[in-house]
Amino acid sequence: MPSLWSSSSKGSVFVGLCLIRSISFTLPHSSSVKYHIQMARSALDETSDSGAFTRTASTFRNSISRGPNSQFPAESGRYHLYISYACPWASRCLAYLKIKGLEKAISFTSVKPIWERTKESDEHMGWVFPATDTEEPGAEPDPLNGAKSIRELYELASTNYTGKYTVPVLWDKKLKTIVNNESSEIIRMFNVEFNEIAENPALDLYPSHLQAQIDQTNEWVYNLINNGVYKCGFATKQEPYDVAVKQLYEALDKCEEILGKQRYICGNAFSEADIRLFVTLIRFDEVYAVHFKCNKKLLREHPNLFNYTKDIFQIPGISSTVNMQHIKRHYYGSHPTINPFGIIPQGPNIDYSSPHDRERFST
């Protein structure tokens, strides 16, 4: 397979890699479950012939639960969360881990920010661990399996896995497998299933009276904003880019209007929908505006959205989940089809710990 990193043949290589095939397989520890996945080796392969970015679904979809007969019971010390600080999906899991007070119950490790070769025998580029504690501030060697890459963890969990090697990965130390690699499900587990051991069990970010509203908000926020910025950035033709940008800015305008009337996106109570929106907003001006060509209007030109982002950043525990060095180095350094020389823009270095005006709303 030709290398995506070969600058002399970028265009044709990219088109050549846009082959997505289907495959069915069974994972260990879930004998009755057949997984049907779309083969794509990285996000860079997820562009169709029309030039539009289409994300493939996550594969490992087991649940940790409090139930007595659970295959994956909510035990302290049993699970490990593998993340990249760069990744918005992994960061929302880490945000939950922090605000629910699960740090003693669930350990976590971040990989290095810039994708590297994961094997000598092929060209795949992906998340890798540093060799030592000091090599990369914020990242650590894999403490459980001594894996060199996230890919190795997927290969330990399943011998015939051929999908993407994504973070987050929720790992079971006892069964030595991946419980779940879908962040929207991991955060729901963290919200309630560990309440007997969480330091903050009373915090419910998906309360029953708000569930319908949160689900409905998540739907458009995911499609138009969280994934919307990727649709802008990974489009390989003008038209899908134009469509994605239009939809993104309509959705941001909608948020700006909602946040002019209430403190949070689903009312005056902080909820799951806020964490899901926040992880994209915090990356917006530093990365997406430049790297993904979302520059029609900056986040800091939306007064309500900008102050809202600061408000959430200042919730205890959240700022520690934002490592802007990792975020910038990852995006600008890992997508050679978008930024072939890996130059990292110097600005804008926004201080999200500065005062905001969101206390004007009652909570």
Ligand X SMILES: N[C@@H](CCC(=O)N[C@@H](CS)C(=O)NCC(=O)O)C(=O)O
166 marked among binding-site residues: yes
81 is a contact residue toward ligand X (CB under 6 A): no
Q: Interface residues for ligand X in 215-254 (CB under 6 A)?
A: none
User: How far apart (Å, rounded) are the C-alpha atoms in residues 64 and 282?
Assistant: 29
Position 317, amino acid:
G
Query: Which is catalytic among the residues 82, 85, 87, 266?
Result: 87
Q: Binding residue per annotation — 167?
A: yes
Interface with ligand X (CB under 6 A), residue total 15
CB of 90 to ligand X, least distance (A): 7
Per CB under 6 A, contacts with ligand X among 167-196 are 167-168, 181-184
Catalytic member of 230, 241, 308, 331? 230
**Residue placing its CB nearer to ligand X in the complex, 184 or 200:** 184
Decide if 93 is catalytic: no
Interface residue with ligand X, options 60, 89, 96, 331 (CB under 6 A): 89
Min CB(165)–ligand X separation in Å = 6
309 is an annotated ligand-binding site residue: no
165 in a known ligand binding site: yes
Query: Binding mask 15-54 vs ligand X (x if CB under 6 A, - otherwise)?
Result: ---------------------------xx-----------
Under 8 Å between Cβ of 304 and 356: no
**Catalytic annotation present for 18:** no
Separation CA 149–CA 44 (nearest Å): 18
Q: Report the residue number, 183 or 304, with the smaller CB distance to ligand X.
A: 183
At its nearest, how many Å lie between ligand X and the CB of residue 298? 22
Question: Is 183 part of any known ligand binding site?
Answer: yes
Provide the binding-site residues for ligand X, judged by CB under 6 A: 42-43, 58, 87, 89, 126, 164-168, 181-184
Binding-site residues for glutathione: 127, 164-167, 182-183
Active-site annotation, residues: 87, 230
